[in-house]
Amino acid sequence: MSKNCAKNTTACVDSDMTPYINAVRAYTAARAVAPRCFVLTFGCQQNVADSERLAGMAASMGYVITDTPEQADLILVNTCAIREHAEQKALSVVGQYKHLREKNPDLIIGLCGCMVAQEHRRAELKKSYPYVSFTLCTSVLYRLPQYLAEVLEKGKRKIVGEEEHTVAEGCPVRRESNYRAWVSIMYGCNNFCSYCIVPYVRGRERSRAPDDIIAEVKGLVESGYKEITLLGQNVNSYGKDRADGYRFPHLLADLDKIEGDFILRFMTSHPKDATRELIDVMAAGRHIPHSFHLPLQAGSDRILSLMNRHYTREKYLEMISYMREKMPDISITTDIIVAFPSETEAEFEETLDVLRHVRFDMIYSFIYSPRKGTPAAAMEGQIPHDVGAARMNRLLALQNEIADAQNEKLVGQCLRVLSEGESKTDPSTYTGRTDQNKIVFFTDPAREGEWVTVKIERAAAFALYGTKVNKA
């Protein structure tokens, strides 16, 4: 950690990394053709944001960013550990890179992110993936120049689980989009939900300084970014590690004061920390769309307690009522886990009851996946996969009906949409998202990042369909 930094938990990328950046630059500059770097991302938006920093750092050291692994000289795989499936996918892709390394012995493969923070995964990489050169945990991603320089200089592997209680400022960022940006406001998680691996692989909560966040958002708005999403594992606990009482509602209110043509989203929230004050800031906001992602996880109080979530179904429902009272047009989405250890049929029904009561606009649902080292993985009553899959199907069938009906209410309305340009599946159609974050398909052309107004003519559970109209 830098001694030059004003705050003892802040790493200054410039001063800490300069010698390594220079060493890698010397290597890339000496090559007849600029080396290429391919970054592959698994997992959540936080990982997408982290990958934008990995690509930014690689580009700043002389790598050309490529979108195919075949020609790459550096491959960075940013991994996810949230469920077993995510880890298996990453390992399988890395397995396919073996032949690339055989063709190009200079190829450097680095595995970054959540999966490699687990000792058993590093042991597996050490033994069975000899062509992986280094592992880089999330809290030290800013040390990419150092890891690369060491591997290049010493020619030795660096399979380590180094972690720091750090907020790194000053990393170059190579953003994927020129109208939609991710801004991490904090890192890590202190909640230890009993099923979740995140606190073990991303460390304790560290909040960025408000001034750094405000400066970044201002810069993005000035460069024409239209949608800015604030990221954190639990944004509602932003600032709890600060002594001055400055918390998430204050940050959101301050960001909302920025002048410009943009919207401000945030994720993810935790029902135990989401406050009425936050809802009031949203309701009064100028740039904050009426859309809220509030993970419920389960509808039974016994399961919520086993999950270590620290709220009851009643408290959750109260928060939803307050949101709807203040913002009647709000769209609400959630995360649900089915088949948590010992969940009975009746307890699963309680989750369905909450769905019927709240009428979420969308849910992200998961079958419980045991994570090594978490309390839930050692609980009695692990549920067979086929029971989990059957519960998931019932959950989705109910949610489809609800989402259909929720979206049907929007038919006939003219909604503001941030265009994402041509649809990837059908180039004759254009797509975008409403302020309430619903996907819309429309026929008339609109550039990426352009605001359009769309008259909704038809609705389905997952999308709306309509025609572009002139702005009123």
**Residue 191 within binding range of ligand SF4, rule CB under 6 A:** yes
Q: How is residue 393 written in tokens? A: 């199907």
Q: Choosing among ligand 5AD, ligand SF4, none, which partner's interface includes residue 436 (Cβ < 5 to 8 Å by kind)?
A: none
Q: Choosing among ligand 5AD, ligand SF4, none, which partner's interface includes residue 369 (Cβ < 5 to 8 Å by kind)?
A: ligand 5AD
Omega cis (within 30) before 453: no
Q: Choosing among ligand SF4, ligand 5AD, none, which partner's interface includes residue 41 (Cβ < 5 to 8 Å by kind)?
A: none
Among 103, 109, 105, 98, which residue's Cα sits nearest to residue 40? 109
Cα Rg of the chain (Å, integer): 23
Residues 194-213 that bind ligand SF4 (CB under 6 A): 196, 198-199
Smallest distance, ligand 5AD to C-beta of residue 87, A = 11
When the beta carbons of 51 and 233 are compared against ligand SF4, the nearer one is 233
**Residue 196 within binding range of ligand 5AD, rule CB under 6 A:** yes
**Residue 369 within binding range of ligand 5AD, rule CB under 6 A:** yes
When the beta carbons of 43 and 62 are compared against ligand SF4, the nearer one is 43
How far are the Cα atoms of 149, 450, 452 from residue 418, in angstroms, in the given order?
Answer: 42, 6, 6
Q: How far apart are CA 81 and CA 87, in angstroms?
A: 6
Of 90, 193, 228, 252, the one binding ligand SF4 by CB under 6 A: 193
SS3 call for 194: coil
Neighbours of 314 (CB within 10 A): 9
Q: Are 431 and 441 in contact (CB under 8 A)?
A: yes
**Residue 294 within binding range of ligand SF4, rule CB under 6 A:** no
Of 57, 82, 307, 459, the one binding ligand 5AD by CB under 6 A: 82
* Beta-bridge partner residues of 14: none
Give the range of 367-375, 412-420, 425-433, 450-458 binding ligand 5AD by CB under 6 A. Answer: 367-375
**Residue 83 within binding range of ligand 5AD, rule CB under 6 A:** yes
Q: How far apart are CA 361 and CA 365, in angstroms?
A: 13
Q: Choosing among ligand 5AD, ligand SF4, none, which partner's interface includes residue 36 (Cβ < 5 to 8 Å by kind)?
A: none
When the beta carbons of 76 and 196 are compared against ligand 5AD, the nearer one is 196
Q: Are 419 and 454 in contact (CB under 8 A)?
A: no
* Beta-bridge partner residues of 264: 228
Smallest distance, ligand SF4 to C-beta of residue 307, A = 8
How far are the Cα atoms of 89, 254, 296, 376, 405 from residue 385, in angstroms, in the given order?
Answer: 19, 46, 21, 16, 30
Question: At residue 206, what are phi and psi to the nearest 5 degrees?
Answer: -135, 120
Q: Choosing among ligand SF4, ligand 5AD, none, which partner's interface includes residue 83 (Cβ < 5 to 8 Å by kind)?
A: ligand 5AD
Q: Are 200 and 373 in contact (CB under 8 A)?
A: yes
Which residues would be at the binding site for ligand SF4 (CB under 6 A)? Answer: 189, 191-193, 196, 198-199, 233-234, 270
Which residues would be at the binding site for ligand 5AD (CB under 6 A)? Answer: 82-83, 195-196, 295, 297, 335, 337, 366, 368-369, 371
